[in-house]
Amino acid sequence: MIKSEKMILRSATINDMPHIVRMIGEFDLDYEQLSPEQFLVIEEEGQVVAFGRLKPYPDAVELGSVGVRPDRRELGYGKKMVEALIKKAPGEIWITTNLRDYFRQFGFAESERMPASIKDKLENFCHFTPRPGIAAMVLRKTAGPSDGKK
């Protein structure tokens, strides 16, 4: 858990899910297979103001459903959320997005070769959304002194 004077970054609980589900619908994000253990939230004064998740597949992990309440945008909460999810994730993280430039700053790169589950999502889910230009991007984390691996 990361805590500051205004915000708390923590794992989601079952009590957070109604707020998360409502915002996922409002923001037109991935609503498939939602469960609290996948999510981190940023809380301010007892209210969820941002969230994101690591969605497990049999052959991949996807960073997704990142959202920030409209009145809390442009304060760096989205960036904090993505950085926390990257830190929590295993060695390889996928994302399907039309915000390619935004995710490049974190080290994600477009990839034509992808796990079957991510390819299936692109072909069968993402093309039905109103956002054009959705691509699969990957971040391959490497072990280093900062993550405790040798």
| Per-residue confidence in pLDDT tens, the chain, 150 aa | 555 568 899 999 999 999 999 999 999 888 888 999 999 999 999 999 999 999 999 999 999 999 999 999 999 999 999 999 999 998 899 999 888 999 999 999 999 899 999 998 888 765 555 556 788 999 998 765 444 433
- pLDDT, residue 112, reads 84
- pLDDT, residue 148, reads 41
Nearest one of 81, 134, 91 to 110, comparing CA atoms: 134
Q: How many residues does the chain have?
A: 150
- pLDDT, residue 147, reads 45
- pLDDT, residue 104, reads 96
Residue ranges per domain, the chain? 2-143
**pTM of this prediction?**
0.85
Residue 58 tokens read as: 């049999």
- pLDDT, residue 85, reads 97
Residue with tokens 């498939």: 32
CA distances from 62 to 89, 102, 131 (A): 9, 16, 18
- pLDDT, residue 8, reads 95
Question: CATH assignment of 2-143?
Answer: 3.40.630.30
Residue 95 tokens read as: 């994302």
- pLDDT, residue 55, reads 95
82 three-state secondary structure: helix
